[in-house]
């Protein structure tokens, strides 16, 4: 998915928010914004949004390190505290796999890049999960998802955010309970960017219990880009591919054979997917 002009002011907003999370003074905030503007003017605008986001957040890290480190830790802790209740909600439901899919999609609300929140506690996470579970999905390719899993031996899972990955773990556990143990390759960021999950976050929430291998995509400094031939080869070598969140949708949507699970949080994605902002989708392309 190529950059839309509406992404440019969004990058500026993200840069300012991240600079404030770093508690940079006004002078350094201005410096960050000026450097981001200069970088955006120098870059080609025919790239994917994640590629330009990497440039933007690398500038923030130059001045403030990892501004979201603490909020990621708290996100993981909050989601883990809800794990027993959410797992019980899944297991007691009429269709545990369908409920686990909705739970994983609901976890995508924990997004400090696209959502205007300053604390993970502001999300009212358990109530939100229960609300999503009771809703119909705006796009629902669940029947095909289940069909593909029945014949699968391997899963490639592109994770999105810290905290959210607790609900990804519940989805994988539910898949195993219904289809047996599949080999799972779990893809995280190679380094910090916004509140995206890294291997440290995955290990904090116990993803090691359900995955067999980790792979890494770029944060702008290390890792491979999502739209690279190498990532295409990962997709081709797995039976079922799951992509969480808007950033992964933006970076992977030129490839085929992927199940996208996300909340739609911006009008650009909404138009591309063909739904309203706020929609929850399980989309196969």
Q: How confident is the model at residue 21 (pLDDT cuts 50, 70, 90)?
A: confident
- The single-letter DSSP state of residue 3 is -
CA–CA distance from 178 to each of 36, 134, 172, 186, 240 (Å)? 48, 22, 10, 20, 15
Tell me the whole-structure pTM to 2 decimals.
0.90
- 25 exposed, middle or buried (CB, 10 Å; 0-12, 13-18, 19+)? exposed
Strand-strand pairing, 259-263 and 280-284: antiparallel
- The single-letter DSSP state of residue 254 is T
Q: In sequence order, which residues have a C-beta less than 8 Å from that of residue 144 and are 6 or more positions away?
A: 284
**Tokens at 168, concatenated:** 């990804």
pLDDT of residue 202: 96
**Is a pLDDT exceeding 90 seen at residue 119?**
no
**Is a pLDDT exceeding 80 seen at residue 227?**
yes
- Tell me if residue 105 falls in helix, strand or coil: helix
Share the mean pLDDT of the chain. 91
pLDDT of residue 53: 86
| Cβ contact 282:136 at 8 Å | no
CA–CA distance from 37 to each of 8, 40, 41 (Å)? 9, 5, 6
Q: How confident is the model at residue 114 (pLDDT cuts 50, 70, 90)?
A: low
Q: Would you tell me how many other CB atoms lie within 10 Å of the CB of residue 134?
A: 8
pLDDT digits (tens, 9 = 90+) for 234-252: 999 999 999 999 999 999 9
**Is a pLDDT exceeding 70 seen at residue 32?**
yes
**Tokens at 133, concatenated:** 């579970």
- Tell me if residue 216 falls in helix, strand or coil: strand
**Is a pLDDT exceeding 70 seen at residue 117?**
no
Radius of gyration of the chain (CA): 18
- Tell me if residue 260 falls in helix, strand or coil: strand
For the beta sheet containing 183-189, the strands, ordered from the edge strand earlier in sequence to the opposite edge, are 139-140, 280-284, 259-263, 240-244, 154-158, 183-189, 213-217
Cα 122 to Cα 117: distance, rounded to the nearest angstrom? 7
pLDDT of residue 22: 81
Q: How confident is the model at residue 48 (pLDDT cuts 50, 70, 90)?
A: confident
């Amino acid at each position: 998915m190529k950059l839309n002009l509406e992404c440019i002011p969004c990058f500026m907003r993200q840069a300012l928010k991240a600079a404030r999370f770093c508690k940079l003074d006004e002078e350094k905030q201005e410096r960050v914004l000026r450097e981001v503007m200069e970088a955006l003017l120098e870059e080609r605008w025919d790239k994917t949004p994640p590629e330009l986001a990497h440039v933007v957040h690398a500038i923030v890290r130059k001045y403030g390190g990892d501004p979201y480190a603490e909020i990621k830790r708290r996100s993981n802790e909050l989601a883990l505290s809800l794990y027993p209740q959410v797992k019980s909600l899944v297991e007691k439901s009429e269709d545990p796999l369908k409920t686990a899919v909705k739970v994983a999609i609901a976890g995508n609300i924990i997004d400090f890049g696209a959502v205007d929140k300053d604390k993970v506690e502001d999300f009212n996470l358990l109530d939100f999960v229960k609300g999503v579970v009771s809703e119909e999905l705006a796009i629902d390719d669940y029947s095909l998802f289940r069909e593909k899993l029945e014949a699968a031996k391997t899963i490639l899972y592109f994770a999105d955010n810290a905290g959210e990955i607790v609900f990804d773990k519940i989805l994988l556990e539910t898949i195993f309970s219904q289809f047996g143990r599949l080999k799972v390759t779990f893809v995280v960021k190679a380094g910090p960017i916004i509140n995206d999950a890294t291997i440290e976050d995955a290990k904090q929430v116990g993803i090691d219990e359900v995955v067999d291998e980790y792979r890494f995509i770029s944060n702008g400094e290390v890792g491979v880009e999502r739209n690279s031939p190498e990532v295409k080869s990962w997709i081709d070598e797995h039976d079922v591919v799951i992509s969480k969140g808007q950033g992964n949708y933006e970076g992977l949507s030129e490839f085929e054979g992927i199940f996208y699970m996300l909340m739609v949080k911006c009008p650009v994605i909404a138009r591309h997917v063909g739904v309203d902002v706020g929609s929850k989708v399980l989309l196969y392309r």
